[in-house]
Chains A and B, each alone.
Chain A
């Protein structure tokens, strides 16, 4: 660029500006003094998310299998129920359901603690 060459030859590139003696020595302290009287910058906190415990798919499969097994065993155990009064039958069915569940649990030898531990363990 010819005009740039002309300009460099005509006026040069030197710095004609000067600063008061010791200016840069005290500059940092002056800036920080102003900073110190300014409120601290607010850094937005990370938004808190609801903790979702994700389990490995295998654990969901195990839980589903256990439930299916309970239901199957409970159904089998109470399969040959004789007919009685519906109210009584309902109460007995309820009790039977609990008994069946307990029986199913005993049958497959898995207790509640083991199931909870399986479902809640982190990976």
Chain B
């Protein structure tokens, strides 16, 4: 098990960087996958975004000087790639209305979605949030991340994050209260 300091050094040396990178792919790919999957919902899309994340990390190795933890560095890239993906998807698919339940419907038909209707509706409600609110909600509600950690990931103040999260929770609660 390598420490972050050890990894930072190994990732910078030409003769050890590939092996070190392979190590971090093995260590962190599953954790990153779930972060991405909760954002983009579809497995194939998540796989694409995750692979792009690692490729971007590899190509940007020179810029990683150990100034943050390896997980923080990779997570930042993964979050940015996920948000970029969602924005491209929105641009191609047009703007969804409040009555649009296509996400819930698609999930219910998805082989790799085991949730019931409530779970599908939850994802629909989350998908309606603005990108940053959606990200904050995912990281806080499902991953139980501390605001201090989310602040490092998103480079946003804890105060702003708390406000984003409270607004997201309020909107999703209102969605279900209106549905029930």
Task: Give me the interface of A with B, judged by CB distance under 8 Å.
Answer: 1, 3-4, 6-7, 10-11, 13-20, 23-24, 27-28, 30-32, 34-36, 38, 40-44
Contacts and interface: CB of A to CB of B under 8 A. Distances in A.
Contacts of B58: 35, 38, 41
Interface string B154-180: 000000000000100110110010000
A15 B142 contact: yes
Interface string B101-145: 000000100001111101111110000000000000000011000
Contacts of A24: 29-30, 33
Contact of B25 (A4, A7, A23, A31): A31
Contacts of A19: 33, 43, 112
Contacts of B122: 11
Given A3-B169, A23-B43, A41-B59, 10 more contacts: A1-B169, A4-B169, A13-B141, A14-B115, A16-B123, A20-B112, A31-B29, A31-B55, A34-B51, A41-B17
A44 B64 CA distance: 12
A44 B25 contact: no
5 contacts: A11-B122, A27-B29, A31-B25, A35-B54, A41-B17
Nearest to A36: B18
Interface size band for B: 35 or more
B12 A43 contact: yes
Contact of B113 (A17, A28, A30, A34): A17
A38 B29 contact: no
A20 B118 CA distance: 23
Contacts of A43: 12, 14, 61-62
